[in-house]
Structure 1
Amino acid sequence: MATQKLYAGAKLREMRTRLTLTQKDFAAKLGVSLPYLNQMENNNRPISTTVVLALAQEFGMDVTELSTGDSERLVSDMREALADPVFDDTMPPLADLRLTASNAPALARAFIALHRTYRQTHERLASLDEALGREDARIQASPWEEVRDFFHYCDNYIDAVDRAAERFATRANDAGGIRSTAIDSLGERGIRVQFVDIDETRKYDADSKTLQLSSRTAPQTQVFQLLLQMALISQDKLLEATLDFAKFQSDEARAIAKIGLANYFAGASLMPYGAFLAAAQEYRHDLELLSNRFGASIEQVAHRLSTLQRPGAKGIPFFFVRVDQAGTITKRHSATRLQFARFGGACPLWNVHRAFETPGHFLRQLAETPDGVRYISLARDVSKSGGSFGAPVRRYAIALGCEVRHAEALVYADNLDINNASAYEPIGISCRICERKNCHQRSVPPLERRLSIDAHTRGTLPYEVT
């Protein structure tokens, strides 16, 4: 099989800029000519093995960064945007989209943002009668989507916050436990922590400096909420500096992101990077063993596994997603080539939807996407009790997966017939951009293809994709 050529001009330019080197000086350090470097930075030539080795030896670069990053996400997001009916059948070739993502990522992001604004405008116009007469009726980016995209394009890894959480976890381990250390940390600031019977999961009163945590919730939830509140108070400067860097467009987005960063700190404190990565490798990513080891929930463990993207110490590239009973994606991240639909639900053939049928059990699936990449996917329900009779139960399902080439590192791949092509179920991303012609679960035709309709013949679909 021919080796895939590596084009990463944008990454190369980014690194040179970060090192404040001219093209001439950078070329000299890499041992290549100036014209050759210029061609690589503009993706006219692939990055050679010699250059890859020089990057690692001369600059200590994690060369896996060259083949990862925003490109695949940008291509996926552009394809989904271009599948919007407003573009009719003007879908550019995939090669053009990849060139745009590699050579002009800022332009690609601007296009995606423009399409997102168009969609939001369209949706607001559809319900204009509700907005008439309101003084605050205005068109702006959805704060929730803006925050989601921030974490999405950070690879769901925030280095400064992650390392601060790891330092706290080390101190807590030396002091006798993370729960007591967090309580002591708040106590040093005059804050009392109470575990009481309340409806809210967590409630902090700044005036009385009292933090109340619900005694109805699971111990893992109590500790997580304790760490979250501690992060909001003790790590405020760090969180605010990170938010300044993100440059959110609205106060609402900034407020949502701050909670997201505090959640990140809490998870990274419970499962500090180095110790968690080592344990994940030792346990072959067994979620239950990791849950018991770190006192975290199954969902928290799965989410944490998807954040192990620290340069120089990366874990397996996982995708992680959470869906509700309607199939709507409520959390998503992917460090793999599989990218989730930004709008709507996930592919109905994916095992995450079946997890609601078998509560308390892990479902395994071998799946193949239209681009020929094969994955192993793990799904499980994570329904959350309201804590009392009659209280609403929040029902979700999560999926965690990676490319099948990492199967040996996963306990969940044991006894699966990974070498049998027929064992892989065909899944897609979104019906509008999925190229499968005979999917029995297809809801709408693919916009990139023409249709042939015969009123006298009915196959799997009421039309034929040509």
Structure 2
Amino acid sequence: MPKLFAGAQIRTLRTAHRLTQAEAARALDISTSYLNQLENDQRPLTAPVLVALTTAFGVEASYFSGDAEREAAAALAEVLPGVPKDELADFARSFPTIAAQVREIPDRLAGTSPDPYEYTRNFFQDHRNYFHDLDMQAETLAARLGGRQLRLTRLASTLDREFGYAVRFNQPVEDGRSSVAMGAREIHLRAGLTEAQQCFELSYRYGRLAHGDILAGLTRGIADSPTRAVTTHGLAQYFAAAVTMPYTEILEAARETRYDIDVVSARFGTGFESTCQRLGTMQRPGAQAVPFVFVRTDRAGNVSKRQETPSFHFSRSGSTCPLWVVHRAFETPNRVTRQVSATPDGRTQMWVARMVQGPAVGFGTPRREHAVALGCDTAYAPQLVYADGLDLNPSSATPIGPGCATCPRVDCAQRAFPVGPGPS
């Protein structure tokens, strides 16, 4: 096996935890001089030190595999399209803090403020789309409320008993699915919601009321108020999904059905999109599910939701690759479409995608339409029912890219823009 050098990653973790080399060395049970050699790439990582690092800093072993550098290199390529990928990867590995600042240069030059939603997506990705304390609290609440048939009514009673908020069903709500009437201390739920959607909305309100300390702790380092509000909203939604689809229950259902999304959705009364998004967060230590990438896009290829991993990068600007399965999903409504794809870095993924529609809003008004996709590395594909009868050979994979504006595939017949200046 090739030697693994991870000096930049170790140094980044240590400084993020505000530890000196001596303090970190004690936590890892190694000498300070040995840690110094590791951080300067003079010594490769060994298995015992790798285990100590993952335990001490609460990260997965994959953090040190180079995936983070490849993801950073893909993001840097959007800012520096003429620089070879291997040089960008070396830069991201050696100078991760500077690389992160370089990625923000376009926004700084344009004089625009950081996008709160982009920050929140990155925040979730940095946490591998899993928040242990919130997930455990949600599962505890779900167990206390009882099975799916009892969860909604007991949750409404709990909100009234513990916080003095009465729940009013089938109410006119101007924006969203629920609202809070502070003066009357009432939570209003919009008419037409499914049982699972009602449970989600009440769980969201419960999470904001009962676990504000956890939410505040997770967002304490966010100085910008609008960004902190968006991130807190996303975390409360995470909690709500974890109550509606408790971790252990949905993991058992996913494994039992080989991740058949429609069957799992039926068990929890949830929609295809909600189930896919929840499956993309199942990374509890010691009980991990398949590590999925989740994305939602419109017909034009604009990504409105995403949960990515370091091994798959979405372009921050422009539309998605026209050869990607999400575009084919619109051609086959109410059917799951499959694809084996290959990204420019040589990785292959299996994708399942389906078109989903919003509720009908009246004659003459078009319904919202999106394509929802869930993807994983082909190494995990045999665990999924969708891999049955599918050719997983990399030679048969559809070549896709991050989007035509930054894609390095110069010979793609579907390319919309020429390759940027400089070497490709």
With the length of structure 2 as denominator, give the TM-score of the two structures. Answer: 0.88
Q: 1:387 to 1:148 in 2, by over 3 A?
A: same
Q: Does 1:109 align with 2:100?
A: yes
- The residue type equivalent to 1:291 in the other structure is S
Rounded to whole Å, the distance in 2 between the matches of 1:409 and 1:113 is 38
Structure 1 residue ranges, 4+ long, deviating more than 6 angstroms after superposition = 56-61
Aligned to 1:307, what secondary structure does the other structure show? coil
- On the 8 A contact 2:340/2:397 being kept in 1, the answer is yes
Which consecutive unaligned segments of at least 5 residues does structure 2 have? none
Structure 1 stretch displaced more, 235-244 or 422-431: 235-244
Q: Give 1:297's aligned residue.
A: 271
Q: 1:145 to 1:214 in 2, by over 3 A?
A: same
Q: Give 2:358's aligned residue.
A: 384
Q: Give 2:382's aligned residue.
A: 408
Q: Give 1:132's aligned residue.
A: none
Q: 1:162 to 1:7 in 2, by over 3 A?
A: farther
Aligned to 1:352, what secondary structure does the other structure show? helix
Q: Give 2:119's aligned residue.
A: 146
Q: Does 1:26 align with 2:21?
A: no
Structure 1 stretch displaced more, 281-290 or 46-55: 46-55
Q: Does 1:330 align with 2:329?
A: no
- The residue type equivalent to 1:110 in the other structure is Q
Compute the displacement of 1:428 (Å): 0.6
Which one of 426, 429, 434 corresponds to residue 402 of structure 2? 429
Which consecutive unaligned segments of at least 5 residues does structure 1 have? 84-88, 122-138, 451-465
Q: Give 1:162's aligned residue.
A: 135
* Alignment of structure 1 residues 22-421 onto 2, 5 Å: 22-23=21-22, 26=25, 35-52=33-50, 62-67=60-65, 70-83=68-81, 89=82, 91=83, 93-118=84-109, 120-121=110-111, 139-173=112-146, 177-188=150-161, 189-196=163-170, 198=172, 200=174, 201-245=177-221, 247-249=222-224, 251-419=225-393, 421=394
Q: Does 1:446 align with 2:419?
A: yes
Structure 1 stretch displaced more, 11-20 or 34-43: 11-20
Compute the displacement of 1:429 (Å): 0.7
Q: 1:171 to 1:375 in 2, by over 3 A?
A: same
Compute the displacement of 1:103 (Å): 3.0
Compute the displacement of 1:440 (Å): 1.3
User: How many pairs does the alignment contain?
Assistant: 420
Structure whose alpha-carbon radius of gyration is higher:
1
Rounded to whole Å, the distance in 1 between the matches of 2:356 and 2:27 is 54
- Percent identity between matched residues is 35
- On the 8 A contact 1:317/1:336 being kept in 2, the answer is no
For the aligned residue pairs, the C-alpha RMSD in angstroms reads 2.9
Structure 1 stretch displaced more, 377-386 or 48-57: 48-57
Q: 1:152 to 1:16 in 2, by over 3 A?
A: closer
Rounded to whole Å, the distance in 2 between the matches of 1:266 and 1:173 is 15
Compute the displacement of 1:229 (Å): 2.2
Compute the displacement of 1:276 (Å): 2.5
Q: 1:128-168: CA deviations, max 9, x gaps?
A: xxxxxxxxxxx422333333332233322233322222222
Compute the displacement of 1:394 (Å): 1.2
Q: 1:179-220: CA deviations, max 9, x gaps?
A: 123212211122111221535421221111111212213333
Rounded to whole Å, the distance in 1 between the matches of 2:168 and 2:290 is 39
Q: 1:315 to 1:72 in 2, by over 3 A?
A: farther
Structure 1 stretch displaced more, 262-271 or 96-105: 96-105
Q: 1:75-129: CA deviations, max 9, x gaps?
A: 221112223xxxxx4x2x32332233223222111111222333x43xxxxxxxx
